[in-house]
């Protein structure tokens, strides 16, 4: 990785997390921003990468990076069962041929993207919990507002902004069929739909699309 690479990386064979200098800047990190913005940006990013140490591939490496499968057969079976929810969610989220939105209809590979979807969901939960711990340490209330938004709302807005993108029709269609990372809209909406705190901080009604009654959870 070069210093200008705009992505973090977890290396299983070394059990190490790498964050290049190029990503320690807005929208991922801003030294002048409040904690909610940074935890929603680089905080989620770091937590996302660390969860890869416990996914289907990460579980084949021990704490020293040696190849050793530490999951039992029952562990692996249960892990596959809970992640199957995210596979189904991803496929369901893809636009159909009559979709009025701006994403092209396509057939996505839910199994290809399940590791990244799982990491998005886990990273979001871990970073949010870390933010709440920091707010307690600083004596700040979760409902404190900056620019009209509470701490929790700013966290989720920051998380969404790191996935903002401009993508052509053909690029989006290719991404949905070959890239393990979902296109921005699907990636953001899927992760927050699976985290009840999103619905709570934005005062959504249970059962609405962004605050479903049943959602997927691995971590």
Residues acting as catalytic residues: 49, 120
State the Cα–Cα distance between residues 139 and 211, nearest whole angstrom. Answer: 29
Those residues with Cβ within 8 angstroms of residue 128's Cβ, 6 or more apart along the chain or in another chain: 39, 152, 155, 195, 197
Please give the full DSSP string across the chain, using - where no structure is assigned: --TT-SS-EEETTTTEEE--GGGSSTTT--TTS-HHHHIIIIIHHHHHHHHGGGSTTGGGB-TTS-B---S-HHHHHHHHHHHHHHHHHHHHHS--TT--SSSPP----HHHHHHHHHHHHHHHHHHHHHHHHHHHHHT--TT-EETTEEHHHHHHHHHHHTT-----HHHHHHHHHH-SSPPHHHHHHHHHHT-HHHHHHTTPPTTBTTB-SS-----
CA distance to 106, 118, 191, per residue, from 93 (Å): 11, 15, 12
């Amino acid at each position: 990785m070069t210093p200008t690479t705009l992505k973090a990386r977890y290396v299983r064979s070394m059990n190490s997390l790498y964050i290049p200098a190029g990503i320690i800047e807005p929208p991922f990190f801003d030294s002048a921003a409040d904690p909610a913005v940074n935890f929603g940006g680089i905080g989620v990013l770091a937590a996302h990468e660390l969860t890869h140490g416990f996914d289907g591939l990460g579980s084949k490496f021990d704490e020293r990076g040696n190849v050793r499968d530490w999951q039992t057969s029952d562990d692996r079976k249960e892990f596959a069962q809970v992640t199957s929810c995210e596979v189904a969610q991803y496929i369901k989220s893809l636009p159909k041929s009559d979709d009025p939105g701006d994403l092209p209809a396509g057939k996505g590979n839910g199994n290809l993207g399940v590791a990244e979807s799982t990491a998005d969901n886990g990273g979001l939960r871990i970073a949010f919990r870390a933010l709440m711990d920091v707010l307690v340490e600083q004596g700040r209330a979760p409902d404190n507002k900056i620019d009209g938004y509470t701490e929790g709302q700013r966290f989720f807005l920051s998380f969404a902004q790191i996935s903002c993108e401009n993508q052509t029709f053909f690029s989006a269609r290719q991404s949905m069929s070959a890239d393990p990372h979902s296109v921005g809209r699907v990636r953001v909406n899927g992760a927050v739909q699976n985290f009840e705190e999103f619905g709570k901080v934005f005062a959504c009604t249970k059962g609405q699309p962004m605050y479903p009654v049943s959602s997927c959870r691995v971590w």
